[in-house]
């Protein structure tokens, strides 16, 4: 009668020779030891390769920061701090100031946030408290489709459809009604061109709404049901529960979601390039064409006439990278804070 095979068939097989006869134990031990050594060696090798790939992520970020700083050194050395405050952009005479692109980047992103944050909050509120449950998944999926549309499609739509529409129907009204207001009126005076910072801000807002609303929706779901039900039991209305229970509980993550959207808006290139008009003339008006850091790089990099011009564009890229890095890092830290409260991190 044969012995039933033990569960570890492999090590058993090692201890028999070709004819099935057991080999002396010492050889088997040595073979097993060699096997172990090989496994250990492979494990170390595997682990090292994996670590190297993980370090490549680190290298990609450091490389981006380092190479743009190095590539932009000529511009930084030539212009010094005045690079940040000068609005003089003259490629022929080699004079470059970054004020207009920096201003354009900040203004379009701020405009986008002013519009996107309340709308995203409304969508998240609708999807977590208002809509009947069967409607929530399809609408959430539809809103997230907006995030999937490539930015170049937003740009084309903005240039060919939205800009003419605004030029015909909105810009004149804005100029006449808002342009006459005291103090802020200057922001809204301008010819009905259709392209400009206001249009870019609107397109950016549409692009970041799905990012912000999906973060908000997810964190609203983390609020413990018993907290909300306690408030309802005390007679709170839905809006009071959201305002007094849900928002305070998720505050840091909600702000994190907003910063995530801001980081996206600051670095967005194609959509803005289409509708901003690539003007280097400084203007207070939101109806006037302007430029952003990303759009200047996209428009001028391959046509840069001199080393200084190219270096200036790379230096702008470095500034953009630093700003978005800080914004996204803040976003991530704020989001982690809620995750920690939840015990997920």
Residue 220: which of 238, 234, 202 has the closest Cα?
Answer: 238
How many angstroms separate the CA atoms of 228 and 214, rounded? 20
How many angstroms separate the CA atoms of 257 and 243, rounded? 17
How many angstroms separate the CA atoms of 125 and 131, rounded? 9
CB of 323 to other proteins, least distance (A): 9
**Contact with other proteins (CB under 8 A) among 13, 84, 85, 142:** 142
The answer to whether 130 contacts other proteins (rule: CB under 8 A) is yes
Cβ atoms within 10 Å of 135's Cβ, excluding its own: 12
What is the per-residue binding string for other proteins in 161-200, x denoting contact by CB under 8 A? x---------------------------------------
Cβ atoms within 10 Å of 62's Cβ, excluding its own: 11
Contacting other proteins within 261-300 (CB under 8 A): 263-264, 266-270, 273-274, 294, 297-298
* Residue among 174 and 331 whose Cβ is closer to other proteins: 331
Q: How many residues in the chain?
A: 345
What is the per-residue binding string for other proteins in 36-75, x denoting contact by CB under 8 A? ---xx-xx--xx-xxxxxxxxxx-xx-xx--xx-xx----
Cβ atoms within 10 Å of 293's Cβ, excluding its own: 28
**Contact with other proteins (CB under 8 A) among 13, 34, 85, 153:** 153
Contacting other proteins within 209-268 (CB under 8 A): 209-210, 213, 237-240, 242, 260, 263-264, 266-268
Pair of tokens at residue 295 = 């759009």
Instruction: State whether residue 310 is helix, strand or coil.
Output: helix
* Residue among 34 and 181 whose Cβ is closer to other proteins: 34
């Amino acid at each position: 009668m044969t012995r039933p095979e033990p569960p570890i068939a492999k090590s058993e097989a090692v201890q028999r020779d070709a004819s099935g006869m057991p080999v002396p134990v010492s050889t088997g031990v040595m073979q097993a030891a060699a096997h172990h050594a090989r496994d250990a060696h492979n494990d170390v090798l595997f682990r090292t390769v994996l670590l190297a790939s993980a370090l490549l992520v680190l290298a990609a970020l450091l490389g981006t920061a380092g190479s743009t700083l190095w590539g932009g050194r000529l511009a930084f050395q030539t212009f010094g701090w005045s690079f940040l405050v000068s609005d003089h952009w003259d490629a022929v005479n080699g004079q470059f100031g970054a004020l207009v692109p920096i201003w354009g980047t900040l203004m379009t992103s701020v405009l986008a946030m002013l519009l996107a944050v309340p709308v995203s909050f409304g969508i998240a509120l609708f999807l977590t408290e208002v809509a009947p449950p069967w409607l929530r998944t399809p609408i959430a999926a539809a809103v997230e489709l907006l995030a999937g549309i490539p930015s170049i499609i937003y740009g084309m739509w903005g240039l060919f459809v939205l800009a003419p529409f605004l030029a015909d129907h909105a810009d004149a009204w804005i100029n006449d009604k808002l342009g006459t207001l005291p103090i802020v009126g200057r922001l809204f005076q301008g010819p009905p061109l259709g392209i400009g910072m206001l249009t870019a801000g609107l397109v950016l807002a549409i692009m970041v709404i799905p990012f912000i609303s999906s973060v908000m929706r997810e964190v609203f779901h983390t609020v413990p049901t018993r907290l909300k039900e306690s408030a309802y039991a005390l007679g709170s209305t839905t809006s009071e529960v959201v305002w007094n229970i849900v928002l305070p509980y998720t505050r840091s993550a909600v702000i994190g979601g907003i910063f995530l959207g801001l980081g996206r808006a600051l670095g967005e290139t194609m959509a803005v390039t289409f509708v901003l008009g690539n003007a280097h003339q400084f203007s207070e008006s939101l109806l006037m064409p302007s430029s952003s850091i990303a759009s200047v790089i996209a428009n001028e990099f391959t046509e840069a006439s001199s080393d200084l011009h190219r270096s200036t564009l790379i230096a702008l890229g470095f500034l953009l990278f630093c700003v978005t890095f800080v914004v996204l890092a803040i976003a991530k830290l704020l989001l982690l804070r809620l995750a920690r409260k939840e015990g997920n991190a």
